[in-house]
Copies of this chain bind each other. A is one copy, B any other.
Amino acid sequence: MLITGTFLDEITADIPHQNWGEKEWDREFATMKMAGIDTVIMIRCGNQRFITYPSEYLMEKRGAYRPPLDLVDIFLRLADKYSIDFYFGLYDGGCMRKAWFVGSLMSEVDDCKFVAEEVWKRYGHHKSFKGWYLNHEIGIGDGELYILDERTEYDRIIGNFVKEISGGLPTIISPYISGSKAQANPLDITAHDKLWNRVLSTLQGAVDIVAFQDGHCEYDELEDYIKVNKALADKYGMTSWTNCESFDRDMPIRFLPIKWEKMRLKLEAAEKTGIEKAITFEFSHFMSPHSMYSSAHGLFDRYMEYREEVLKRS
């Protein structure tokens, strides 16, 4: 199982900025292509007042700052140039990062729809614009089912909306399981199955691709979780990817590149399940030879050796 997709972590929420311009992003796309990546997913187009493209709507209505670069334009031109599929991550109004109260997420629905329409009108013609990423990472971390239900409902509404305006382009979610490494409310396989049956049944038709994050359970429990994830996705007509995280959740500095051994264990677990595709969060900080973290350069070298082995085998 090889990594063929990655998030692009712009605008960042908690990952340090690399301060790249177009030249550096061009070099990065060339490297990704060379490493076998055919899919990029912009994690969000804006986080509260910081945005990736000059959205008249967000600048006027939400006090967003005018960005120095139009990253969406750059990413789409580079995706066109390198024949890489681009998925557009929607707007994050910050509700899930700040004080939470019931119903508050729904206040972001209109912003999210406006942004999607604005974006589709402006950038929808790019041949690499292949779909949408519903950017709230849902899960039962908060413990309360009614909160997860609200978030699911939000994704259902938005998923249906963006598909409708774009002629049915596919939508992705990347939720998290609550495995043994979850900070609260770890769910065993049976409880996980039951919970996500509830969520995915709601999302049927609104979500096309489910790419669970693979970092919240023990390495040897992962295969079982992915099997359940895939069975549920199959049941609701969805495609299953795995989001093979390339940062290390086990270390005190949060976050630095993962130990290659751990990433390989996770790829091998995924391979056994027949899942369709592996993406990663994310290449440019944690796996790239151009990352600000030098240990990412080592991870890149190890991964590329492994990739050669795998390609030779097949």
The chain A residues found within 8 Å of chain B, CB to CB, are: 12, 14-21, 24, 49-50, 63, 65, 67-68, 219-220, 248, 251-254, 256-261, 264-265, 291-295, 298-299, 301-302, 305
- 29 residue pairs of the A-B complex, CB under 8 angstroms, read A12-B259, A14-B251, A15-B251, A16-B248, A16-B256, A16-B257, A17-B256, A17-B257, A18-B294, A19-B301, A20-B298, A21-B298, A21-B302, A21-B305, A50-B259, A50-B261, A65-B261, A65-B265, A67-B261, A68-B260, A68-B261, A68-B302, A253-B253, A253-B254, A292-B294, A292-B295, A292-B298, A293-B294, A294-B294
Asked if residues A295 and B16 are in contact (CB atoms below 8 Å), the reply is: yes
Given contacts A12-B251, A17-B298, 17 further A-B contacts (CB under 8 A): A14-B252, A16-B248, A16-B295, A17-B248, A17-B256, A17-B258, A18-B294, A18-B295, A19-B298, A20-B298, A21-B298, A21-B302, A68-B261, A68-B302, A291-B294, A292-B294, A292-B298
Interface residues of chain A: helix, strand, loop or mixed (majority): loop
A305–B69 Cα distance when bound, in Å, is 13
Q: How far is the CB of A169 from chain B (nearest CB, A)?
A: 29
B residues less than 8 Å from A259 (CB atoms): 12, 17, 19, 50
Partner of A19, one of B24, B265, B302: B302
Asked if residues A264 and B16 are in contact (CB atoms below 8 Å), the reply is: no
Asked if residues A16 and B253 are in contact (CB atoms below 8 Å), the reply is: yes
A265–B256 Cα distance when bound, in Å, is 28
Q: How far is the CB of A63 from chain B (nearest CB, A)?
A: 7
B residues less than 8 Å from A15 (CB atoms): 251
The number of times this chain is found in the oligomer is: 3
A124–B93 Cα distance when bound, in Å, is 55
A304–B19 Cα distance when bound, in Å, is 12
Q: How far is the CB of A310 from chain B (nearest CB, A)?
A: 13
- For A19, the closest partner residue in chain B by CB is B298
Asked if residues A254 and B252 are in contact (CB atoms below 8 Å), the reply is: yes
Q: How far is the CB of A60 from chain B (nearest CB, A)?
A: 14
A301–B24 Cα distance when bound, in Å, is 11
Q: How far is the CB of A288 from chain B (nearest CB, A)?
A: 11
- For A14, the closest partner residue in chain B by CB is B252
B residues less than 8 Å from A265 (CB atoms): 65
B residues less than 8 Å from A253 (CB atoms): 16, 253-254
Partner of A298, one of B14, B24, B251, B301: B24
A251–B264 Cα distance when bound, in Å, is 29
Q: How far is the CB of A271 from chain B (nearest CB, A)?
A: 15
A267–B220 Cα distance when bound, in Å, is 45
A34–B225 Cα distance when bound, in Å, is 49
A16–B257 Cα distance when bound, in Å, is 8
Asked if residues B65 and A260 are in contact (CB atoms below 8 Å), the reply is: no
